[in-house]
Amino acid sequence: MKASNLVSLGDISTEDLWEILDTARNLKLEHLAGVRHDMLAGKTLAMVFQHPSLRTRVSFETGTWQLGGHAIYLGPSDIKLGQRETTEDIALNLSRYVDGIMARVFEHRTVAELAEHASIPVINGLCDTYHPCQGLADLLTVLEKKRTFEGLTLTFIGDGNNVAHSLINGCAKVGTAFRIACPEGFEPNGEIVAAARDLGASVEVFHDPREAATGADVLYTDVWVSMGQEATSKQNAFEGFTIDEALLSVADKDAIILHCLPAHYDEEITYAASRSPGSAIFDQAENRLHAQKAVMALLMG
């Protein structure tokens, strides 16, 4: 892997992306076969969190241990990133103590600043603009279920948020068409869309979820209101943008359903749709572990 950090999927090459996916598949198969790995033996990952997490913390901490390493949890009150001391100084200090930094932060500029000043690999565990680790897990899940990316259409129903941005980046590199259905005013970042189109990617923005879902091979959704956002006005804007049985009926008959979780049932997705035969939501959640292990093995190993 040529990249020294994972800040966004848009920053890494197609070759690096495929190396991560191939490594994740191999690590997963070997783990399920009982093979023990030691790529991170003697290595430590600092996990910096500005807000709570289930999947990010557990998957990174477990993944580090499964690779023979050790993870340190640094919660919101432990270092007060950018408040108690500068982000630059935190990056420089951690570089003297540990072998890698995973940061789950509010603003993209924070993780970008960590990567700028750290002399060790920095992994973006989530920020307001991107969620690359989730995007890798999503692509790994699609590849497992569909065996290819070519000729597929992934439709995202919901806000043009950090998850949507990482999916746009990832789909552009693997050759999968991307559609998003969102209310007016909630479209993904125009620069991110333009950059993907410059790579020759198909990125379409719809305001009718049924139109966007028609014939889709993958239907994906996320919570309408992300952590820290104002709930009521946004929920009202997204009425009708729910993955339910009616929406599933217009997608491809073998479509898979994805959700990065946590789910608010009967808002962005119905419980019945989340448990339908095409649902791969919990395979997708598991693949956070394997995708992130691949990133750590390649960057820190």
Q: Which of 16, 66, 127, 131 is catalytic?
A: 131
What is the predicted pLDDT for the residue at 148?
A: 98
Q: Kindly give, in sequence order, each residue whose CB lies less than 8 Å from that of residue 85, ignoring residues fewer than 6 positions away.
A: 79
Q: Name 203's bridge partners.
A: 178
In the prediction, which pLDDT does 236 show? 87
Q: What is the pLDDT of residues 106-137, one digit of tens each?
A: 999 999 999 999 999 999 999 999 999 999 99
Q: What are phi and psi of 184, to 5 degrees?
A: -60, 135
* Catalytic position from the list 50, 134, 284, 292: 134
* 134 catalytically annotated: yes
> Which entry of 55, 104, 259, 290 is annotated as an active-site residue?
104
pLDDT digits (tens, 9 = 90+) for 177-222: 999 999 999 999 999 999 999 999 999 999 999 999 999 999 999 9
Paired tokens of 148: 């290819």
Tokens 């379409």 -> residue: 204
Residue 79: per-residue pLDDT: 87
Q: Which residues of the chain have pLDDT under 50?
A: none
pTM equals: 0.97
Helices (H) and strands (E) in the chain, counts: 13, 9
Q: Which residues contact 71 (CB under 8 A, 6 or more apart)?
A: 44, 45, 46, 47, 60, 61, 64, 65
pLDDT at 84: 86
CATH numbers and ranges of domains, the chain: 9-131+288-300 (3.40.50.1370), 134-284 (3.40.50.1370)
List the catalytic residue out of 171, 260, 290, 292.
260
* pLDDT (0 to 100) of residue 223: 96
131 is catalytic: yes
CA distance 16 to 170: 11
Tokens 């649902």 locate to: 279
Query: Burial letters for 198-229: b for 16+ Cβ neighbours within 10 Å, e otherwise?
Result: eeebebebbeebeebbbebbbbbbbbbbeeee
Is residue 83 annotated as a catalytic residue, yes or no?
no
Decide if 292 is catalytic: no
| CA-based nearest residue to 288, from 52, 62, 33 | 62
Token pair for residue 284?
């997708």
CA-wise closest residue to 130 among 106, 154, 148? 106
Of 133, 182, 222, 259, catalytic:
222
Mean model confidence pLDDT for the chain: 96
Report d(CA 289, CA 291) in Å as an integer.
Answer: 6
